[in-house]
A and B are shown apart, each in its own frame.
Chain A
């Protein structure tokens, strides 16, 4: 289903974003 693919694409993009944000914080801990 297209909606599942679209949701999956958002989650992949969000995952990259959150990973980038997490990486900056992790250096400090």
Chain B
């Protein structure tokens, strides 16, 4: 089972995660170990990259209107910054004593911290992106709730004008998200829900039209037409709700989802 729930996060973190695990194992197996080479240059490169991430991260926080991101991201940035400091300290200690065990421990601690902090940061950013998609899904849910009160052709035209771009956006974003997921089952559920929504949308519009025509002509069967329309709207809402549920899952929740 994949550890990282999106392909982007996996591609960024996975190679280093493996190397850090290897570092820990090698350190344990080697016990006192060989003399460490001078790590000041690679540590300096990490520090520079961390400075840049902190800058970009702070800009992201400032420009975001997502309260959760604004709350969560600073601690992830602090973690990365502290870990970078650990690496610099380890590097300085190793320069004085290439066999220093505390320095090696600090090196491992720093490497792990960079990995975990970056992982938290990416997760935080990813969750914020997911919330944007969910916001669009909820807009569709709001429109679907309005379908029950549409009783003129003019309102139906306006309803369609409002719903269509929103639905297209959801379709585009969920489709792109589905391709990003490493969890096959979650991805397949999103595809299935999206297909259902695409099938149901024109049928719902048709049922709304039938209802309006019956009411306008004062014909029989308006109750049945309303019932049919409501049923279709609720089927679509269920599919959107399921998409929201799956979008919020990460592989860490997979026990619950299955």
Greatest chain B CB density within 10 A among A5, A21, A27 is at: A21
- Chain B binding surface, main DSSP class: helix
Stretch at the interface among B21-29, B166-174, B239-247: B21-29
Stretch at the interface among B40-48, B133-141, B152-160, B186-194: B40-48
Q: How far is the CB of B117 from chain A (nearest CB, A)?
A: 9
Task: Tell me the A1-29 residues at the B interface (CB within 8 Å).
Answer: 1-29
Closest to B22 in A: A22
Task: Tell me the B142-192 residues at the A interface (CB within 8 Å).
Answer: none
The reply to whether A25 and B53 form a contact with Cβ atoms under 8 Å apart is no
Asked if B107 is an interface residue, CB under 8 A from chain A, the answer is yes
The reply to whether A7 and B122 form a contact with Cβ atoms under 8 Å apart is yes
Contact among B34, B52, B115, B125 for A14, CB-based, below 8 A: B115
Chain A positions within 8 Å of B, measured between CB atoms, are 1-29
Chain B contributes a number of interface residues (CB within 8 A of A) equal to: 42
Q: What CA separation (Å) do A29 and B8 show in the bound complex? A: 34
Closest to B38 in A: A20
The reply to whether A20 and B42 form a contact with Cβ atoms under 8 Å apart is yes
Given the known A-B contacts A15-B19, A19-B19, are A7 and B121 also in contact in the complex, defined by CB atoms under 8 Å? yes
Contact among B33, B34, B46, B125 for A3, CB-based, below 8 A: B125
Given the known A-B contacts A2-B56, A28-B34, A29-B29, are A18 and B121 also in contact in the complex, defined by CB atoms under 8 Å? no
The reply to whether B53 and A6 form a contact with Cβ atoms under 8 Å apart is yes
- Contacting residues, chain B, for A1 (C-beta < 8 A): 125
- Contacting residues, chain A, for B35 (C-beta < 8 A): 24
- Contacting residues, chain B, for A7 (C-beta < 8 A): 12, 53, 118, 121-122
